[in-house]
Amino acid sequence: MKNLRMKAARAAKDLSQEDLAQICHVTRQTINAIEKGDYNPTLKLCIAIAKALDKTLDELFWE
Amino acid sequence: MESFLLPAIILAAMIIAIIMISRNTDSAENYDERQELVRLKGYRTAFFTLIFLVMAVIFLSSSGLSLFSHIPASLMLWAALFASMTVFDLICIRNDAFSGVHGRSIKGSIAFCFLLGIPDLVTAILNILGHGAMEEGMVSESVGIDLLFGITLVFNGLCLLIHLLHQRKEASEEE
């Protein structure tokens, strides 16, 4: 399932996938895979993404 | 003596690569968590591919089939090794787990593959055209390894090139 909330939050912060990837110390492809729903990130990465986007885990990842 | 030179160089290169990989214990710095998972899948698949192909080589070399009686078992083992390495490479390239987060550039890897692979392939083809591929009724091991090595590297280079183009397209679509 696509993670549109994460994509929207990233766009709201005016960050590209590459920018977010650099902040979270992952590759752009990993961010892309999370947004497309192809990859389930670990809690550690979820927290890093949530912090980078100034959102809570619930706002980004809870169904 | 010459037939042992290339396998010896490849073996030495592999040992150096294994030492360098095993020395780099903090691999989390190089690959992110998704890439680590992909590489794990790649290692597993390549391992079982190698096991299957080695069993196939043992079966074929002892089967007495006329086609395989002209190919030295060691050359078939090299082919199995190159094939399993290619399986690993393909899985990593397809899933963007080839170069790490701050790892080597794909362009550099493509250049490496082509610069090493094309001369090897050309040498092998020229050797086959000039002297033939057979030596004393068997496929020449040195020519065979040259050919396998060249094909593997050029194939990997092409896969990387296609992947690089696909990545660029994906990145421009994302923007």
Q: Among A16, A17, A30, whose Cβ lies nearest the Cβ of B34?
A: A30
Inter-chain CB proximity B174 and A41 less than 8 Å: no
Give A34's contacts (C-beta < 8 A, 6+ positions apart). A3, A6, A41, A45, A49
Q: What is the pLDDT of residue B64?
A: 77
Give B21's contacts (C-beta < 8 A, 6+ positions apart). none
Which ranges constitute the DSSP H helices of chain B?
2-23, 33-63, 66-69, 73-94, 106-131, 141-174
Inter-chain CB proximity B96 and A25 less than 8 Å: no
pLDDT in tens, chain B (175 residues): 556 777 788 788 888 877 776 666 555 458 899 999 999 999 999 999 999 999 999 988 888 777 777 888 888 999 999 999 999 999 999 998 887 777 667 888 899 899 999 998 898 888 888 878 777 778 888 888 889 999 999 999 999 999 989 888 877 776 6
* Interchain CB contact of A44 with B (< 8 Å): yes
Residue A9 and residue A22: Cα distance in Å, rounded?
16
The yes-or-no verdict on residue A62 having pLDDT over 90 is: no
* Interchain CB contact of B171 with A (< 8 Å): yes
ipTM of predicted assembly, 2 dp: 0.87
Rounded to a whole number of angstroms, the CA Rg of chain A reads 10
Q: What is the pLDDT of residue B28?
A: 45
Q: What is the pLDDT of residue B5?
A: 75
Query: pTM higher than 0.90, yes or no?
Result: no
pLDDT, one tens digit per residue, over B4-19 is 777 788 788 888 877 7
pLDDT, one tens digit per residue, over A6-52 is 999 999 999 999 899 999 999 988 999 999 999 999 999 999 999 99
Inter-chain CB proximity B33 and A27 less than 8 Å: no
* Interchain CB contact of A15 with B (< 8 Å): no
Q: What is the pLDDT of residue A44?
A: 94
3-state secondary structure B120-139: HHHHHHHHHHHHCCEECCEE
Whether the Cβ atoms of residue B149 and residue B141 lie closer than 8 Å to each other = no
* Interchain CB contact of B35 with A (< 8 Å): yes
Whether the Cβ atoms of residue B32 and residue A30 lie closer than 8 Å to each other = yes
Secondary structure E strands in A1-63: none
* Interchain CB contact of B175 with A (< 8 Å): yes
